[in-house]
Structure formats: C-alpha cells, structure tokens
Amino acid sequence: MTRAKRPRPPEPDYPVYVGSFGDDHRYRLVWLHGIGWEPLSEEEFEPRIRQVFPDIDLEDPEQVHWADRPQEWPAWHPGAA
C-alpha cells in the first residue's frame, strides 16, 4: 500500500508562527522562518525564539503570530508525555 503524499502547506509570512492549540500534549508547533516547524513547550519557547531571532519583539503580532489562543499553552502535568 502506497501512501499519498500530502502537499506541504505554504510557509507562514511571519518570522515566528505559533500553530494551533492542542490539549493532548504540552507542545505547540512553532514555525521559525529559515528553519521550519519545531514542537516547543512553554518553557522552551522564548529561549529558542531568542536563539534564532535575538532582537525579536515577542509582543508584535507581525513578528510572532499565534494561530489561536495567544500566549496560552496546553496544561501539562509531570509524568505526562
């Protein structure tokens, strides 16, 4: 059985694009221009963004765009995936 290749979605027009909120894990997929998508937890988000874009304004929606629920992260409990 051969899997049909799904077309890649277009690249976001922002330096950072935070993907949709999910409640079954602690990560959100984050698009980093020039790098691609990375799953990041709340704790990893700002350090990683600053590593790639040291001078970015995290409050500017033209630089960091949230698909939904800005600044929110899925609940995570120790021992969960």
Q: What is this structure's pTM?
A: 0.79
pLDDT in tens, 8-63: 667 788 999 999 988 778 899 999 999 999 999 999 999 999 999 999 999 999 99
CA distance 65 to 30: 10
Instruction: Tell me the three state secondary structure of residue 78.
Output: coil
Compute CA 31 distance to the chain's CA centroid, rounded to the nearest angstrom.
5
pLDDT band per the 50, 70, 90 thresholds, residue 81: low
- Among 44, 46, 66, 62, residue whose Cα is nearest residue 54: 46
Q: Which residues face 16 on adjacent strands?
A: 32, 64
Q: How many CB atoms lie within 10 A of CB 52?
A: 14
- Among 19, 21, 38, 25, residue whose Cα is nearest residue 72: 21
Q: Kindly tell me if the per-residue pLDDT of 1 is higher than 80.
A: no
